[in-house]
């Protein structure tokens, strides 16, 4: 089994910072065939419409992930002893071209999925989810999705017909048949809105939106029970925008919205993904230039670890 470097052996501030101190395995390495869950960086923010910076996310997330230890303190899950996890490196984007970056990402994830690896991605802005879903749907068909965000990312277009931004990925994913909208739930939606065009689209295709008012009224366990019922037992993608979390806890992001969940609730929702048939997951929109303390990135990798624990349970049961 691939094991992370322990803080008992080498201090956490020393060494090359791979995700969670796991071995780095490139797509051309022979050992790729032994990897079951691959942690991947997508350093690209070509879809950003407001404050940029998530292209620097994977570096900062890797650095803060050296704080992650081997055992989940709440569930006792030790994911690295259940399945082979590795850092597969970064997708090389083309910062000068949205179209080329989308193609490069899908080509990368096609290889990952062909090797039988379940991807856990660190973004990047939320447009990164679209090329990943294109690869995932090739293998699994239209998937369900549990999506944490303060925004629906379901808009038709920006700036006069621009269809590929971080505000549009899931509109495209539904149109392209990558998502089964009746198995999609969006949790935490809030903030001032342009209009209801995105929500009208969600209603028209059967996407369930759990806005922040309902989230706080019902509480995490009840909301997550419904989310898991909507996703069902079919193949499901988990997409986690760090701006789901209140900016008091996660200020390092481009489009923050106040009145959100605490860092504890942010971990709790990810922990309660147990039993979901997760075929891929991402954590996006961490923007290091706005994350002076590194605390947003640390919360981001802590959420990734909670998702990884449930992914390891899921993969080991297959
Ligand atoms: Mn988003
Ligand atoms: Mn968002």
Q: What is the 3-state secondary structure (H, E, C) of the chain?
A: CCCCCCCCCCCCCCCCCCHHHCCECCCCCHHHHHCCEEEEEECCCCCCCCCCCHHHHHHHHHHHHHHCCCCCCCCCCCHHHCCCEEEEEECCCCCCCHHHHHHHHHHHHHHHHHCCCEEEEEECCHHHHHHHHHHHHHHHCCEEEEEECCCCCCCCCECCCECCCCCCHHHHHHHCCCEEEEEEEEEEECCCCCCCHHHHHHHHHCCEEEEHHHHHHHCHHHHHHHHHHHHCCCCEEEEEEHHHCCCCCCCCCCCCCCCCCCHHHHHHHHHCCCCCCEEEEEEECCCHHHCCCCHHHHHHHHHHHHHHHHHHHHHHHC
pLDDT band at 7; cut points 50, 70, 90: very high
**Residue 12 included in any domain:** no
Buried b (16+ CB within 10 A) or exposed e, 248-276: ebbbbbbbbbeebbebebbbbbbbbbbeb
Ligand sitting nearest the alpha carbon of 123: 1
pLDDT digits (tens, 9 = 90+) for 175-203: 999 999 999 999 999 999 999 999 999 99
**Do β-strands 278-284 and 118-123 pair in parallel, antiparallel, or remain unpaired?**
parallel
pLDDT band at 318; cut points 50, 70, 90: confident
**Residue 7 included in any domain:** no
**Residue 239 included in any domain:** yes
- Residue 208 predicted with pLDDT over 90: yes
**Residue 11 included in any domain:** no
Percent above pLDDT 70 for the chain: 100
Give 6 Cα–ligand 1 centroid separation in angstroms. 33
Give 243 Cα–ligand 2 centroid separation in angstroms. 5
Give 167 Cα–ligand 2 centroid separation in angstroms. 8
Give 88 Cα–ligand 1 centroid separation in angstroms. 24
Average pLDDT over residues 135-164: 97
Average pLDDT over residues 148-155: 98
**Residue 8 included in any domain:** no
| CATH assignment at residue 85 | 3.40.800.10
Mean pLDDT of the chain: 97
Ligand sitting nearest the alpha carbon of 282: 1
**Residue 298 included in any domain:** yes
**Residue 44 included in any domain:** yes
Ligand sitting nearest the alpha carbon of 126: 1
What is the pLDDT at residue 90?
Answer: 98
Cα 104 to the center of its chain, rounded Å: 18
Give 151 Cα–ligand 1 centroid separation in angstroms. 6
Average pLDDT over residues 209-219: 98
Ligand sitting nearest the alpha carbon of 154: 1
Ligand sitting nearest the alpha carbon of 153: 1
Cα 250 to the center of its chain, rounded Å: 15
Domain of 126 in residue numbering reads as: 19-316
What is the pLDDT at residue 1?
Answer: 84
> CA 254 to CA 99: how far, in whole Å?
22
Average pLDDT over residues 154-161: 95
What is the pLDDT at residue 179?
Answer: 98
Give 184 Cα–ligand 1 centroid separation in angstroms. 14
> CA 88 to CA 79: how far, in whole Å?
17
What is the pLDDT at residue 56?
Answer: 98
Residue 247 near residue 190, CB atoms below 8 Å: no
For tokens 């020393």, what's the residue?
14
- Residue 129 predicted with pLDDT over 90: yes
Give 127 Cα–ligand 2 centroid separation in angstroms. 11
Residue 222 near residue 176, CB atoms below 8 Å: no
What is the pLDDT at residue 50?
Answer: 94
> CA 80 to CA 63: how far, in whole Å?
19
Give 78 Cα–ligand 1 centroid separation in angstroms. 29
pLDDT digits (tens, 9 = 90+) for 267-308: 999 999 999 999 999 999 999 999 999 999 999 999 999 999
CB atoms within 10 A of CB 221: 10
pLDDT digits (tens, 9 = 90+) for 42-86: 999 999 999 999 999 999 999 999 999 999 999 999 999 999 999
Give 145 Cα–ligand 1 centroid separation in angstroms. 13
**Residue 10 included in any domain:** no
Ligand sitting nearest the alpha carbon of 170: 1
What is the pLDDT at residue 122?
Answer: 98
Residue 234, exposed/middle/buried by CB under 10 A (0-12, 13-18, 19+)?
middle
Ligand sitting nearest the alpha carbon of 257: 2
Give 286 Cα–ligand 2 centroid separation in angstroms. 10
What is the pLDDT at residue 243?
Answer: 98
Look at the pTM and tell me if it is higher than 0.95: yes
The total number of structural domains in the chain stands at 1
Give 75 Cα–ligand 1 centroid separation in angstroms. 28
């Amino acid at each position: 089994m691939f094991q992370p470097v322990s803080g008992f052996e080498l201090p956490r501030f020393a060494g090359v910072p791979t995700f969670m101190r796991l071995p780095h395995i490139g797509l051309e390495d022979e050992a790729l065939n032994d990897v079951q869950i691959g942690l991947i960086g997508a350093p690209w923010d070509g879809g950003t419409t407001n404050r940029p910076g998530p292209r620097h996310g994977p570096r900062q997330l890797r650095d803060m992930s050296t704080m992650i230890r081997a055992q989940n303190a709440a569930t006792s899950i030790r994911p690295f002893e259940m399945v082979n996890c590795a850092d597969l490196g970064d997708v090389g984007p083309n910062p000068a071209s949205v179209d080329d970056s989308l193609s490069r990402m899908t080509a990368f994830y096609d290889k990952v999925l062909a090797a039988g690896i379940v991807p856990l991605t660190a973004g990047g802005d939320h447009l990164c989810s679209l090329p990943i879903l294109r690869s995932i749907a090739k293998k699994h068909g239209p998937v369900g999705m549990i999506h944490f965000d303060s925004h629906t990312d379901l808009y038709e277009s920006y700036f006069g017909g621009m269809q590929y931004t971080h505000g549009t990925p899931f509109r495209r994913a539904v149109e392209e048949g990558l998502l089964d909208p009746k198995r999609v739930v969006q949790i935490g939606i809030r903030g001032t809105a342009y209009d209801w065009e995105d929500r009208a689209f969600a209603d028209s295709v059967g996407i369930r939106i759990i806005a922040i008012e309902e989230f706080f009224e019902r509480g995490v366990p009840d909301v997550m029970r419904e989310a898991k019922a909507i996703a069902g037992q079919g193949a499901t993608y988990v997409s986690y925008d760090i701006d789901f979390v209140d900016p008091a806890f996660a200020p390092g992001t481009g489009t923050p919205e106040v009145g959100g969940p605490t860092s504890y609730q942010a971990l709790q929702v990810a922990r309660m993904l147990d039993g979901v048939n997760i075929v891929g997951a991402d954590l996006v929109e961490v923007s290091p230039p706005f994350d002076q303390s590194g605390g947003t990135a640390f919360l981001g990798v802590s959420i990734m670890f909670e998702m990884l624990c449930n992914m390891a349970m899921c993969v080991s049961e297959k």
